[in-house]
Amino acid sequence: MCFVSDVLFWSFMAMGKLVWLASYPKSGNTWVRAFLHNYIVNAETPHSINSLVDFSVSECAMAFFGAPGEVLTPQEAQAKRPAIHDALTRLHEDLVFVKTHNANLSLHGVPLCSPGVTAGAVYIVRDPRDVALSYAAFTGKTVDEIIAFMAEAGAANAGDGTQVFELLSSWSSHALSWVAAPRRLLVRYEDLLAEPERYFGRIIRFLSAPGTAVAPDRLRRAIDFSSFSTLAGQEAKEGYRAGGPSGEKFFRAGKAGGWREELSPAQAAAIWAAHGGVMEKFGYPRD
């Protein structure tokens, strides 16, 4: 099924077939997936948020690793990961989009994102102060708990029968691990919000053959159909099956800089103390 042959950069495939859509949690991964689906489908109505598996998959889904309800240890999951990633390349004839929150690291001697089958990566980064607020609402934990979690080198999402574990590491380590990846495009959440045509267009150009023009109307429609108001409206109407354990809305405000009103000075200072050096590399100021 060649669903993206008119869009994607086929020369990537000499290197591999998986295009990682990578981010720390609550950094815009689902938003970018929705945009790509709408751009690829190019329909007259928005693509359903509950159909984001049409053209992309979640790498950690238990369905790829074993029986539903089975809980694998990190060692067991890592032993299976290379074969799983190889199998993912056969889901489609062309490139395969794979969502991951894993850091681009190795564990138990096995890469979390197998380089041999990788075509490239789009990495979405977001100000960790806004991440902390959104992640706390998503998980039902306190902001202070999430701030501490984001500073842990061994931070991970545990396997639970629906997914295998994901190694996030600290926010800083996560970001630096993907910046070091070859054939990757870095996009900031804040830039996607501020100048969507420019930066979503950059994603399409990264994935397109040299000289391929981005269709302006198609781009604008995909941006509109994946806007936060559209996604939130879909969630309110039909629910979102990948919503968080806390029962809170998955698509909240979708804004940048909310930390200035919602974080205490001590909380903002704690995040800066843990990640300030890396935040500056991505253009996030202290104040």
**Looking at the domain assignment, is residue 147 inside a domain?**
no
Residue with tokens 């039909």: 238
262 part of a folded domain: no
d(CA 123, CA 13): 19
The alpha carbon torsion through 203, 217, 233, 168 (nearest 10 deg) reads: 0
d(CA 182, CA 201): 21
In a domain, 5, yes or no: no
Tens-digit pLDDT profile for residues 232-248: 777 777 766 665 554 55
In a domain? residue 32:
yes
SS3 63: helix
What are the pLDDT tens digits along the chain (287 aa)? 334 545 554 445 456 899 999 999 999 999 999 999 999 999 998 888 878 888 899 999 999 999 989 999 999 999 999 999 999 999 988 899 999 999 999 999 999 999 999 999 999 999 999 999 999 999 999 999 999 999 999 999 999 999 999 999 999 999 999 999 999 999 999 999 999 999 999 999 999 888 888 999 999 999 999 988 888 777 777 766 665 554 555 666 678 999 999 999 999 999 999 999 999 999 999 99
Give the separation between CA 27 and CA 101, rounded to whole angstroms.
10
In a domain, 139, yes or no: no
Residue 232: its pLDDT value, please?
78
- Rounded Cα distance, 172 and 176, in Å: 6
Residues paired with residue 57 on neighbouring β-strands, in sequence order: 98
- For residues 267 and 132, is the Cβ–Cβ distance under 8 A? yes
What CATH number should be reported for the domain holding residue 88?
3.40.50.300
Question: What pLDDT, on a 0 to 100 scale, did the predictor assign at position 15?
Answer: 66
Q: Give pLDDT, residue 236.
A: 74
- The string of pLDDT tens digits covering residues 196-232 is 999 999 999 999 888 888 999 999 999 999 988 888 7
Greatest C-alpha distance within the chain: 52
Cα 242–243–248 angle (5° rounding)? Answer: 175
Q: How many domains does the chain have?
A: 1
Which two structure tokens, joined as six digits, stand for 1?
A: 């099924």
CA dihedral (166, 277, 123, 228) positive or negative: positive
pLDDT of res. 241: 61
What residue numbers bound the domain in which 190 lies?
10-127+156-247
Domain-embedded: residue 285: no
Distance CA 278, CA 200 (A): 24
